Amino acid sequence: MAADAPNRAAAAFFDLDRTLMEGSSAFQFGRAAYRAGLLSRRQLIADGWANLLFRMRGASDQVSHDLRERISRDLEGTRVRDVERLGADVLAGVLPRIYPQVLERAYDHQDDGRRVYIVTAASQELADMLAQVLAFDGAIGSQFSEVRDGVYTGRPAGLFIYGNEKALAIQRLAQREGIDLAESYAYSDSASDLPMMRVVGHPVAVNPDAALARAAREQSWEVLRFDRLGRRVKAAVGLLGAAVAGGIGSAAVAAHNRRRRGLVARLKT
């Protein structure tokens, strides 16, 4: 259901990972890079584990900044053109993971006259591609490495759209585009985005981590929940534990019965 129509120019800002999509866009980039020969199998496995943990509990500030540093280093010596050619493969991994409920909310905002933007720590290139495919009005993303002569140097450059810098990027966009932030909306899953959510008049927590859920309760913000992965994984672990315990118990009973039958057989002889 769409929110009330605005009286002035306004916008809706959507975080990407665990907000607009399930899981991590960085992992989808890593899979595409691996298939293109730009990433090792070992790193892909590490990224897969990090993606599972991220989907269950989000990422800390340190993990996010470490990821930026690693991606920047990994890009050293890679042609910009080769990374751009990953676009279709990355989108093939991201698009099926878009939450239809959030996408519908974004389109409701557009229909009510608000501009809709992706605001993400992921690369500006990915953010732009995704915004174009989803028919959003624009995107704000990070720059991971400086470029010289069409090749990444591996040195981080530009804003990392995370935490306070994400809020700053939104404020700069609002100033350029004449957007009234008091009439605008922001959607995120993570407490790291509290600076972004506090610069708008209508913050919405989506699949929030514990810290954001607490802030949302305290501030009476709207909360959307539909990412059940964490609960599914915990349930699976619980079932596995029960199965193991059951297996051990069954084995103990079977062993006891075998011993008992052997004892009875000896007594009869």
Q: Would strands 151-152 and 147-148 be described as parallel, antiparallel, or unpaired?
A: antiparallel
225 three-class SS: coil
Q: By the 8 A CB rule, do 156 and 233 touch?
A: no
Query: Exactly one of 4, 15, 89, 149 is catalytic; which is it?
Result: 15
Rounded distance, CA 33 to CA 10, Å? 37
Query: Exactly one of 4, 17, 82, 89 is catalytic; which is it?
Result: 17
Active site residue 180: no
Active site residue 47: no
b/e sequence 63-101, b meaning 16+ C-beta within 10 Å? ebbebbeebbebbeebeeebbeebbebbbebbeeebbee
Catalytic residues: 15, 17
